[in-house]
Amino acid sequence: MDDKLSLPKAPLWKKLKVKRPRKAWYNYKKPFFPPNAAPTKNVAAVRKPGSPKSNSAVALRPASRQVRSKLRERKRKPKAWPTSAATYFRYVRSTYTLDKDTVPGTVYTHALSSNQVTYGSGTNTTTRASNPLWRVQIAKKQDASTAYFRSGHEVDQCVITCEALGLSQVAPLPYRSKCSMSWLDAYPSSYPGSTNSAIDQQALLDLKRKLKKQIGSFDSLAPIGELRECRGLIRGLANSATGIVKTLVDIKKTRGGSAFKYASEAWLNWSFGVKPMISDVKKLATAIAKFQQRSDRNIVITGNASTDWISGQLGFGLTGARGASVNSRRSSHHTLSYRYTASFNLLLSSANNYGAADHFGFDVPSLVPAAWELMAFSWLLDYFSTMGDFLDDAFSSPSANSVYVVQTRKYTMESDIDQWFVPDSGTIILNQTRGTHHVRYFEFQRTPFSALPRIAVRFRTLDEIGKGGVNKLLNLVSLVGTGFSDRPGLKRR
């Protein structure tokens, strides 16, 4: 089959403004058949030019570009979110019969109910903003982010049954009851734990620390202010050898008090003297190298923070079989995460107002954070509050222009609701089947910002206080052991 197509002269088909015909491309899975022609055994597959002739295997041409692009789109298509609405039917069918009845075999109704429920009515929504020029804006490295929100439920029901035997409450006659139910109460329309400002601030602080690390700046005022205390630190380290001998001699006389005091002083010298000095030397060397290699560039960084917790709830006395009510136990696992994604243009070499003074923290705004660090026991306040981070963020302005700043929040809740029958007084449950309902709720929100938000002053959460808990505990115990003396190095965080 000849796949060469005759083309008109270039001037003619250009003047007619028609598309230039392309060569035929054939599917590599099936042989090509002409239009309106049924396949026959005598029709041979089209062989790819240059391939060896073989009766057992015929090399076919690849599929068209349109088909291949559709296949790639299917592979790239993400998994679908849960359905935004969860509508189901719940019901209770509870009947009973009397063993000695005037009309044997009569079935009485104890409870009969059925209705349709939509989970999370009012929260199964999708809100988005359209931006038709997002491709152009991204190509120009502009902000193309838009607001987006979505929430929804997933419900997996179960059915529980029960057969009970007991005495009638109307007359002392034995009765038998049967119940079949699938009853699941709807969740509220809002969830208080779906937002958390403390986790939001942690993600923002993580992003700002990474930005400062990318710039490579160093705050030199606080270490320079504490150079006068290095003399006392060196003297304390030199006397540590003789101090341990004195401690061992007096350990029996002081009943271990001298050993506790010596260990406390040694730990404070290390934690507030030697360790910060080594860290400052490393940071200074890195800052010098970053300043020498500074250049204008674009970066994309993220800040993350997340938490999870478990909650539970018990329910009693739900209407079930006659003589047997239904109890429930709900256990829920919650996850909440925040992420800040931002792009910055670092202006480190072309900016006229950025120099060594800004890079090494010798400018006037850096005086306030340095004064806070040099205050006695300011590090102790930073254990329980964000005052130090707030001052550092309020009086510093990194030499970077933000291209876009986007906050994303994701909240999920997965609940298991166990239900079972409990006999009332004078009733025996002959048999029952327990069941567990499964419920999943999610929220996803994307919020763009015109500028990078600021750190707020707040008390730290228990999780934040617990980070580095052993080191913090040793610092506090060592302060008690030394009697809260204002030793060299205790003014640093």
In a domain, 225, yes or no: yes
What angle do the packed helices 257-269 and 240-250 form, to 10 degrees?
160
In a domain, 457, yes or no: yes
Higher pLDDT, residue 266 or 333: 333
Check residue 431 and give its pLDDT.
92
Say if residue 190 is in the same domain as residue 63: no
Higher pLDDT, residue 347 or 197: 197
Say if residue 101 is in the same domain as residue 64: no
CA distance 342 to 204: 10
Angle at 274 between CA 272 and CA 275, to 5 degrees: 75
In a domain, 97, yes or no: yes
The domain total for the chain is 2
Say if residue 217 is in the same domain as residue 330: yes
Check residue 120 and give its pLDDT.
55
Check residue 193 and give its pLDDT.
79
Say if residue 286 is in the same domain as residue 430: yes
210 contact partners, CB below 8 Å, separation of at least 6: 301, 302, 303
What would the mean pLDDT of 186-203 be, rounded to a whole number? 81
pLDDT band at 84 (very low <50, low <70, confident <90, very high): very low
Check residue 210 and give its pLDDT.
92
Check residue 232 and give its pLDDT.
67
Check residue 469 and give its pLDDT.
75
Helix (H) or strand (E) holding 82: none
pLDDT band at 73 (very low <50, low <70, confident <90, very high): low
Helices (H), 3-60: 10-16
- What is the value of pTM for the model shown? 0.70
Say if residue 227 is in the same domain as residue 350: yes
Of 148-152, 252-256, 405-409, 487-491, which one has max mean pLDDT? 405-409
The 10s digit of each residue's pLDDT in 97-134 is: 887 777 777 888 888 888 877 665 455 667 777 788 87
Q: Are 451 and 402 in contact (CB under 8 A)?
A: yes
What value does the CA radius of gyration of the chain take, rounded to a whole number of Å?
A: 37
CA distance 399 to 358: 9
Say if residue 17 is in the same domain as residue 133: no
Higher pLDDT, residue 322 or 122: 322
Cα 58 from chain centroid (whole Å): 52
The 10s digit of each residue's pLDDT in 417-458 is: 999 999 988 889 999 999 998 888 888 999 999 888 999 999
* pLDDT for 279 beyond 80: yes
* pLDDT for 337 beyond 90: yes
Say if residue 165 is in the same domain as residue 34: no
pLDDT band at 239 (very low <50, low <70, confident <90, very high): low
In a domain, 81, yes or no: no
pLDDT band at 29 (very low <50, low <70, confident <90, very high): very low
Dump the DSSP string for 419-482. EEEEE-TTEEEEEEE-EEEEEEEEEEEEEEESSPPPPPP-BPPHHHHHTTHHHHHHHHHHHHHT
What would the mean pLDDT of 223-235 be, rounded to a whole number? 73
pLDDT band at 205 (very low <50, low <70, confident <90, very high): very high
pLDDT band at 60 (very low <50, low <70, confident <90, very high): very low
Check residue 481 and give its pLDDT.
67
In a domain, 487, yes or no: no
CA distance 391 to 456: 9
In a domain, 491, yes or no: no
Of 93-102, 137-146, 153-162, 472-481, which one has max mean pLDDT? 153-162
Mean of the per-residue pLDDT values for the chain? 75
Say if residue 281 is in the same domain as residue 151: yes
Check residue 190 and give its pLDDT.
65
Lowest-pLDDT range of 220-229, 310-319, 338-347: 220-229
Say if residue 360 is in the same domain as residue 389: yes
Of 71, 104, 127, the residue at which a domain comes to its end is 71
Say if residue 160 is in the same domain as residue 306: yes
Check residue 269 and give its pLDDT.
75
- Which among 148, 183, 154 has a CA at the least distance from the CA of 85? 154
Of 71, 103, 119, the residue at which a domain comes to its end is 71
Beta bridge partners of 118: 87
Lowest-pLDDT range of 128-142, 189-203, 223-237, 264-278: 223-237
Q: Which domain holds residue 40?
A: 1-71
Higher pLDDT, residue 474 or 201: 201
**3-state SS assignment for residue 363:** coil
Length of the chain: 493
In a domain, 182, yes or no: yes
449 contact partners, CB below 8 Å, separation of at least 6: 405, 406, 407
pLDDT band at 25 (very low <50, low <70, confident <90, very high): very low
Check residue 402 and give its pLDDT.
87
Check residue 298 and give its pLDDT.
87
CA distance 329 to 310: 13
Say if residue 50 is in the same domain as residue 22: yes
What angle do the packed helices 257-269 and 469-481 form, to 10 degrees?
130
Backbone angles phi, psi at 150, to 5 degrees: -150, 145
CA distances from residue 113 to 319, 377, 421 in whole angstroms, order as listed: 11, 66, 18
Start-to-end CA span in the chain (Å): 82
Check residue 67 and give its pLDDT.
57
Phi-psi region of 484 (alpha: psi -120 to 50; beta: other; left: phi over 0): left
Q: What is the DSSP letter of 273?
A: I
Percent of the chain with pLDDT over 70: 69
72 contact partners, CB below 8 Å, separation of at least 6: none
Of 23, 45, 71, the residue at which a domain comes to its end is 71
CA distance 452 to 447: 12
Say if residue 404 is in the same domain as residue 321: yes
In a domain, 77, yes or no: no
* pLDDT for 79 beyond 80: no
Burial class (CB in 10 A: 0-12, 13-18, 19+), 266: middle
Check residue 420 and give its pLDDT.
93
Check residue 442 and give its pLDDT.
86
* pLDDT for 351 beyond 80: no
pLDDT band at 37 (very low <50, low <70, confident <90, very high): very low
Check residue 55 and give its pLDDT.
44
Of 117-121, 183-187, 291-295, which one has max mean pLDDT? 291-295
Check residue 374 and give its pLDDT.
84
Tokens of 289: 């190298």
CA distance 84 to 71: 27
The 10s digit of each residue's pLDDT in 388-397 is: 899 988 888 7
